[in-house]
């Protein structure tokens, strides 16, 4: 039946129940298909939902179900100290991928398509924001110089080693342009310079991919409560590392083998400083604005929905603005998280803190009370994103398209994977140990120095390459996730291998390694950090003017009394003046913990008022 298109097109897409199929589908099939076979372009008015419309619902259902399973099974396996949640999610992803592969007869292993944009735009920001929000600020800023050293110089060293190593590897294994006829053809029609640029782009791309520490993995493996120093060093390094990666990538873009001068090094440094400064400044600015706005506008309200919504949106705005301005969004949202936990959050929870404070007036001392100003909204978002990523990476690892291509030369793939893994190990060792030595030189106090055993843990804990590397590899070597070229497929499968191996093997061994290298010692330091939850309770009990945060780490800070001490403990000194500045200027303007306690002599006034 040849109905005029315009008439039938009138009901161009008459499928109200996009998500809802007719439960009696067979009953209306007669209507649906009467319009003819070309129902794609000419939809009859009563056409039912077609299969492609329903596919995402199936996929989302399965994926959400798997996320639930990951949390549940991850919890059940928690007793086994070696297994962490990321490993569970990876394993479940792998199993599901295998099942899907068998069900679809080898067509695909994925439920949803992996999109690098999705990863960078939606999944990464909540994780990094939450890390900034929950990070122990004092620990972080005390080690700020070391962190920057590891993050900036260490990444550069890793990058150089992995790049140089990859170049050697390419020669040895005849990978790249050296064995294909493309190369000869290409050689014939092009100049050597262009070819070299292509080659260097590939090599340096690999260098950048594998020198990018995965902050997400670090969060999973190290425990802030157990090893606060190592956590802040390794995680902080990961954050700074991101800014450095941006700089390196931009440098690669403009890399010219024939023009390496000392000027380019200075340019690199300048770029890094600009990126680092601008990203940090943006994060701090957004954090302070949010604190000020919430303090001024919402003071004294009882509902916190709007404040929390505003916080989340502004934090996300900071990330997306940084990306828009070509800055490091990770660095921005990390500092935004720090500022928000220091000022904004306390303004938001002003009303609920009344409850918190009230507990203090009870005669009996609270025994097992945990006061968390319900910041679990961020932790929850972060957790879901993390599990999402690992689950997906697990499924993604069975990327049959690439494995099929690679299977033609299995030896090459294994070779590339193992050499890359080796380079990652060597590259990180070459940056951590010398830099720790340099860092130790600047510190007089023996307790501040990073011991050799701690260096090993830092080296080890930063070895994991995870979702960030995967996303980068896919962006670098595929076009919307697809490739037909053997070299690109090898790069993808090698990345998958390195990611799986490092996450599972290095990840599983991290906890045993820590308890082997640093036994007991850290279980003792757990106590003070646990007490942070009780801080608001202790606050009014402390002597006036004494800084509750400053004493949180168990070792009271000696105030500088001589010039020598001023020089040897610069960071502590800086911290002291920062506290003064914070108390006298920042907190009155932007709010924050303890601000109300400083204003009201009697907390009861606040409650009665």
Based on CB atoms, which residue is closest to its own copies, 61 or 407?
A: 61
Residue 277 engages its own copies in binding (rule: CB under 8 A) = no
Using the rule CB under 8 A, which residue among 39, 50, 56, 226 binds its own copies?
56
339-368: contacts with its own copies (CB under 8 A): 351-352, 354-356, 358-359, 361-364, 366-368
Piece of the chain touching its own copies by CB under 8 A; list 176-184, 422-430, 494-502, 566-574:
176-184
Q: Which of residues 208-227 bind its own copies (CB under 8 A)?
A: 208
Which residue, 51 or 305, has its beta carbon nearer to its own copies? 305
Show contacts with its own copies in window 376-395 (CB under 8 A): 376-377, 379-380, 383-384, 387
DSSP state of 71: H
By beta-carbon proximity to its own copies, the closer residue of 17 and 410 is: 17
Assess contact for 445 and 568: CB atoms under 8 A: yes
> Among 336, 215, 318, 327, which Cα is nearest to 276's?
327
Q: Where are the alpha helices (DSSP H) in 42-135?
A: 51-76, 85-103, 116-118, 124-134
Render 487-525 in DSSP notation, one character per residue: HHHHHHHHHHHHHHHIIIIIHHHHHHHHHHHSTTHHHHT
Q: What residues does 479 pair with on adjacent strands?
A: 482
Distance in angstroms (rounded) separating the CA atoms of residues 170 and 176: 6
Q: Which is nearer to its own copies, 476 or 569 (CB)?
A: 476
- 205 binds its own copies per the rule CB under 8 A: yes
- List b or e across 441-459, with b for residues whose CB sees 16 or more CB atoms inside 10 angstroms: eebeeeebbbeeebbbbbb
Q: Quick check: 317 binds its own copies (CB under 8 A)?
A: yes
- The residue range among 106-114, 162-170, 295-303, 495-503 that interacts with its own copies, by the rule CB under 8 A, is 295-303
Nearer to its own copies, 287 or 506 (CB): 287
Identify which of residues 266 and 574 has a Cβ nearer to its own copies in the complex: 266
Number of other residues whose CB lies within 10 A of the CB of residue 530: 11
> Smallest distance from the beta carbon of 381 to its own copies, in angstroms?
8
Q: Of 51, 52, 105, 189, which one interacts with its own copies (CB under 8 A)? A: 189
Rank residues 45 and 570 by Cβ distance to its own copies and give the closer one.
45
Write out the binding residues for its own copies, residues 60-79 only, by CB under 8 A: 60-61, 64-65, 67-68, 71-72, 74-76
Joined together, the tokens standing for residue 153 give 């110089």
The helices-and-strands tally (H runs, E runs) of the chain is 33, 0
Site for its own copies in 110-139 (CB under 8 A): 116-117, 120-121
Residues 473-502 vs its own copies: string with x where CB under 8 A?
Answer: --xxxxxx--x-x-xx--------------
* Shortest reach from residue 483's CB to its own copies, in Å: 6
Count of residues binding its own copies (CB under 8 A)? 132
Instruction: Give the span between the Cα atoms of 304 and 302, in whole angstroms.
Output: 6
Residue of 324, 353, 338, 332 whose CA lies nearest to 291: 338
Applying CB under 8 A, does 316 fall inside the site for its own copies?
A: yes
Sign (positive or negative) of CA dihedral 228, 230, 232, 238:
negative
- Here the tokens at position 437 are 């030595």
Of 77, 321, 414, 509, the residue at the interface with its own copies (CB under 8 A) is 321
Which region, judged by CB under 8 A, interacts with its own copies, from 150-158, 184-192, 458-466, 581-589? 184-192
- Can residue 16 be called a binding residue for its own copies (CB under 8 A)? yes
> Pick from 95, 285, 293, 426: which binds its own copies (CB under 8 A)?
293
- What x-and-dash track marks residues 550-579 binding its own copies by CB under 8 A? ------------------------------
- Closest approach, Cβ 16 to its own copies, in A, equals 5
Q: Is residue 9 a contact point for its own copies (CB under 8 A)?
A: yes
Rounded to a whole number of angstroms, the minimum distance from the CB of residue 201 to its own copies is: 4
Q: Name the strand (E) or helix (H) holding 597.
A: helix 595-599
Determine if 466 is a binding residue for its own copies (CB under 8 A): no
User: What's the min distance (Å) between Cβ of 292 and its own copies?
Assistant: 12
- Short-list 346, 264, 234, CA closest to 298: 346
| 8 Å CB contact between 153 and 431 | yes
Look-up of token digits 């990070």: 135
- Say which DSSP state 36 is in: -
Nearer to its own copies, 313 or 574 (CB): 313
Q: Is 266 in the site for its own copies (CB under 8 A)?
A: no
Q: Which of 56, 106, 118, 132 is nearest to 388 (CA)?
A: 118
Half-sphere exposure of 383 (CA within 13 A, CB side): 16
Residue (189 or 561) nearer to its own copies, CB: 189
Told to check if 11 binds its own copies by CB under 8 A, we report yes
Q: Which is nearer to its own copies, 188 or 524 (CB)?
A: 188
Instruction: Determine the Cα–Cα distance for residues 462 and 455; give it in Å rounded to an integer.
Output: 11
Residues in the chain: 609
Of the candidates 324, 438, 567, 574, which one interacts with its own copies according to CB under 8 A?
324
| 222 closest CA partner among 519, 518, 453, 510 | 510
Q: In 10 A of CB 481, how many CB atoms?
A: 17
């Amino acid at each position: 039946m040849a109905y005029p298109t315009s008439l039938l097109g009138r009901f161009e897409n008459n499928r109200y129940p996009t998500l809802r199929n007719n439960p009696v589908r067979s009953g209306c099939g007669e209507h649906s298909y009467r319009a003819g076979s070309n129902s794609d372009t000419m939809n009859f008015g009563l056409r039912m939902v077609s299969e492609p419309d329903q596919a995402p619902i199936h996929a989302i259902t399965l994926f959400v179900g798997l996320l639930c399973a990951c949390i549940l099974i991850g919890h059940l396996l928690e007793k086994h100290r070696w297994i962490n949640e990321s490993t569970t999610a990876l394993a479940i992803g792998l199993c599901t991928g295998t099942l899907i592969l068998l069900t679809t007869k080898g067509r695909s292993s994925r439920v949803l398509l992996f999109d690098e944009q999705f990863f960078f735009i939606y999944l990464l920001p909540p994780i990094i924001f939450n890390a900034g929000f929950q990070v122990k600020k004092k620990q972080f800023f005390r080690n700020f110089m070391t962190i920057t050293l590891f993050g900036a110089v260490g990444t550069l060293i890793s990058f150089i080693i992995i790049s140089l190593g990859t170049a050697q590897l390419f020669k040895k294994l005849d990978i790249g342009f050296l064995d294909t006829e493309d190369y000869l053809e290409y050689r014939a029609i092009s100049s050597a310079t262009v070819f070299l640029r292509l080659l260097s782009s590939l090599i340096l791309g690999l260098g950048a991919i594998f020198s990018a520490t995965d902050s997400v993995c670090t969060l999973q493996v190290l425990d802030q409560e157990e090893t606060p120093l190592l956590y802040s060093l390794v995680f902080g390094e990961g954050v700074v590392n991101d800014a450095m990666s941006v700089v390196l990538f931009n440098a690669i873009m403009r890399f010219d083998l024939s023009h390496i001068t000392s000027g380019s090094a200075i340019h690199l440094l300048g770029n890094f400083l600009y990126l680092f400064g601008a990203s940090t400044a943006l994060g701090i600015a957004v954090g302070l604005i949010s604190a000020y706005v919430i303090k001024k506008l919402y003071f004294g309200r009882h509902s916190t929905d709007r404040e929390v919504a505003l916080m989340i949106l502004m934090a996300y705005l900071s990330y997306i603005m940084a990306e828009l301005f070509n800055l490091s969004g990770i660095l921005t949202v990390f500092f935004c998280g720090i500022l928000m936990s220091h000022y904004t959050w306390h303004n938001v929870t002003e009303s609920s803190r009344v409850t918190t404070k009230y507990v203090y007036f009870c005669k009996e001392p609270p025994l097992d009370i945990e006061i968390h100003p319900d910041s679990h909204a961020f932790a929850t978002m972060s957790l879901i994103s993390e599990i999402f990523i690992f689950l997906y990476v697990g499924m993604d690892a069975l990327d049959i398209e690439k494995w099929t291509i690679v299977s033609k030369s299995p030896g090459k793939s294994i070779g590339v994977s193992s050499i890359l893994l080796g380079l990652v190990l060597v590259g990180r060792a070459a940056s951590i140990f010398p830099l720790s030595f340099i860092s130790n030189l600047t510190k007089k106090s023996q307790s501040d120095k990073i011991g050799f055993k701690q260096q090993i843990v830092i080296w080890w804990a930063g070895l994991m390459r995870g979702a960030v590397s995967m996303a980068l590899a896919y962006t670098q070597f595929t076009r919307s996730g697809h490739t037909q070229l053997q070299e690109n497929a090898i790069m993808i499968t090698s990345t998958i291998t390195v990611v799986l191996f490092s996450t599972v093997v290095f990840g599983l061994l991290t906890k045993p390694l820590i308890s082997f290298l640093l036994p007991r010692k850290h279980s003792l330091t757990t106590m003070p950090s646990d007490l942070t939850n009780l801080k608001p309770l202790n606050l009014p009990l402390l002597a006036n003017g004494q800084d509750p945060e400053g004493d949180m780490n168990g070792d009271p800070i000696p105030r500088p009394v001589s010039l020598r001490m001023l020089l040897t403990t610069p960071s502590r000194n800086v911290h002291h003046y920062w506290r003064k500045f914070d108390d006298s200027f920042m907190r009155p303007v932007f709010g924050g913990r303890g601000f109300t306690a400083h204003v009201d002599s009697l907390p009861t006034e606040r409650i009665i008022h």
